[in-house]
Structure 1
């Protein structure tokens, strides 16, 4: 697991933790990824990992006085990193995640130009174009303020299963999680989307904290007959929730 943490200097860094069962983790003493450029003076956050063509790629958010940008790095062992820097430099942007394979000969990446979820396309993982909005907030629903991708997509026989976060416009905005399903060959086509959230702040440590009323995920892992959803709770804790794969597939089929 990669996770974001802050020290007393309030700069975000990325730590590394390992587990045999997906539930109990041991943390490395020092961060494995730290700010390395002027784009990252305030920190590096929200790592999302995708295994692609023999490497593990990490999309992450770089914070600096210049704004918020999507950056990328890759690794083979989580200790040594190749940095590619900011990959969409001209606009505030975050919530990025790669698809685990090419679609129609192009690399495809989620990103978020507030308040909507977008896709971008590339031939080389360096230059990104064709920014296309695929989904946005829904008036009167649990995700009526803004949305963004959670975990990188999981391929199923019915489509790309995408975990995403939605924010409700309340006095203290509330972050919840839901699913959407995208067409396998045309991921700009949304097949299905959660009418109700699958996870929302309920526990005291999800409701109260550095950023209250938040469950926010960057990772969903397929393990045996379940999906393990790892999420941040109120910006103070890391937690995991599980859901049976068959329950999710039944929802897609219904």
Structure 2
């Protein structure tokens, strides 16, 4: 089971100073019956801003906005290096944009234990919109710990907003009745020793509902720091339960523009949409350009159905739980 990529990038940097170094890690969503991408851009100042394009088809750009649609709040100490890696989820009539507020820890302030990210302060943050022109900014919604790679489920579960996010090295879940004050519920899944996702994992696109569970495209990193994509299947009623994960990646860096760039050997998604019986996955290549790949929904659903049917017979040996009795009723 593999994603089929377009062999050339969909979007590349321009001469505009705010996006002349890299465009990457796009959210993907449907607004007014058209596909849109909201992407991370960096320019000469290395500050991250969010740009936006309208698609004519899943693989053809119709319109690219010349200026950013979302920038750092100048009054926020958490956004001094910018806003990163958006995931967009429609709930009701509103679009929830979960993004990473990026800054550096002030001098003399204690830093996280993870040595590779010790200088950076990253916080999951929220803004809402109905038109992508005016914004309600809530800012940081998980304030006590470095966390990123976050997204909301597209519907409430047990009357709660459900948020997936990544605290190195694992994906975690949190819930909130009001959509702003989140309470941790624990780990969902983490790295698998010796595998393609053996160093750390992170959320990719917002989860997409299918008859057999929530389809979650996610990224995994190995000990050589290669970023690949896989799929996890989460239980519909309790998404903290992992039904299955792909044993092999569904995508890995292969083209020159995925292997070579500002950060080499990276394919990294923040968004996917359903169109014409396919999942279209939009992703950053080497933190420099944006690509698109697709896979037939039938292929993913067959895998999901098969994994759901056998889930009662095995358990993961890594972080993550397998739905058992809850899944049996769905298979009848």
Q: TM-score range by the shorter chain?
A: over 0.9
Between Structure 1 and Structure 2, the one with more strand by share is 1
Aligned equivalent of 2:65: 28
- SS of 1:131's partner is strand
Deviation, structure 1 residue 38: 1.7
1:46-85 matches, cutoff 5 A: 46-66=85-105, 67-85=121-139
1:77-156 matches, cutoff 5 A: 77-156=131-210
After TM superposition, the score normalised by the length of structure 2 is 0.75
1:140-219 matches, cutoff 5 A: 140-170=194-224, 173-219=225-271
What is the aligned residue count?
252
Instruction: Supply the RMSD in Å over aligned alpha carbons.
Output: 0.8
The gaps in structure 2 that reach 5 residues or longer are 1-36, 106-120, 307-332
Aligned equivalent of 2:41: 5
Deviation, structure 1 residue 169: 0.6
Deviation, structure 1 residue 131: 3.4
Distance in 1, Cα, partners of 2:48 & 2:157: 33
Residues 200-244 of structure 1: CA deviation (Å, up to 9, x unaligned): 000010000000000000001000210000000000010000101
Distance in 2, Cα, partners of 1:192 & 1:91: 28
Residues 29-71 of structure 1: CA deviation (Å, up to 9, x unaligned): 0000000022111011100000012100000001012311010
Distance in 2, Cα, partners of 1:159 & 1:114: 25
After TM superposition, the score normalised by the length of structure 1 is 0.98
- Which structure has the larger Rg over C-alpha atoms? 2
Distance in 2, Cα, partners of 1:154 & 1:7: 32
Query: Taking CA–CA contacts closer than 8 Å with sequence separation of 6 or more, which of the two structures ends up with the larger relative contact order?
Result: 2
Residues 113-133 of structure 1: CA deviation (Å, up to 9, x unaligned): 100000001010111003310
Aligned equivalent of 2:286: 234
Distance in 2, Cα, partners of 1:140 & 1:20: 42
Distance in 1, Cα, partners of 2:65 & 2:185: 37
Distance in 1, Cα, partners of 2:145 & 2:185: 12
Distance in 2, Cα, partners of 1:249 & 1:65: 42
The gaps in structure 1 that reach 5 residues or longer are none
Residues 106-162 of structure 1: CA deviation (Å, up to 9, x unaligned): 110001110000000101011100331010000111000000110000011100000
Structure 1 segments of 4 or more deviating over 6 A? none
